[in-house]
Amino acid sequence: MKNANVPETKAEPPAGAGRKLLSIAALSRRWSVSDTTIKRLIEEGELKGMKIRRSYRVFMESVVEYESRSRF
- Give the range of the structural domain holding residue 44, as residue numbers without chain letter: 21-68
Residue 67 CA to its chain's centroid (Å): 16
Would you say residue 61 lies in a domain?
yes
Would you say residue 25 lies in a domain?
yes
The pTM is what?
0.70
Would you say residue 3 lies in a domain?
no
pLDDT at 62: 97
Would you say residue 4 lies in a domain?
no
Condensed to tens digits (0 to 9), the pLDDT of residues 5-19 reads 655 666 555 555 568
CA distance linking residue 67 with residue 70, whole number of Å: 5
- Order the strands of the 21-23 sheet from edge to edge: 21-23, 55-59, 49-52
Percent of the chain, pLDDT > 70? 74
Would you say residue 48 lies in a domain?
yes
Query: What average pLDDT does the chain have?
Result: 85
Answer whether 37's CB lies under 8 Å from 28's CB: yes
Condensed to tens digits (0 to 9), the pLDDT of residues 41-57 reads 999 999 999 988 999 99
Total domains in the fold of the chain: 1
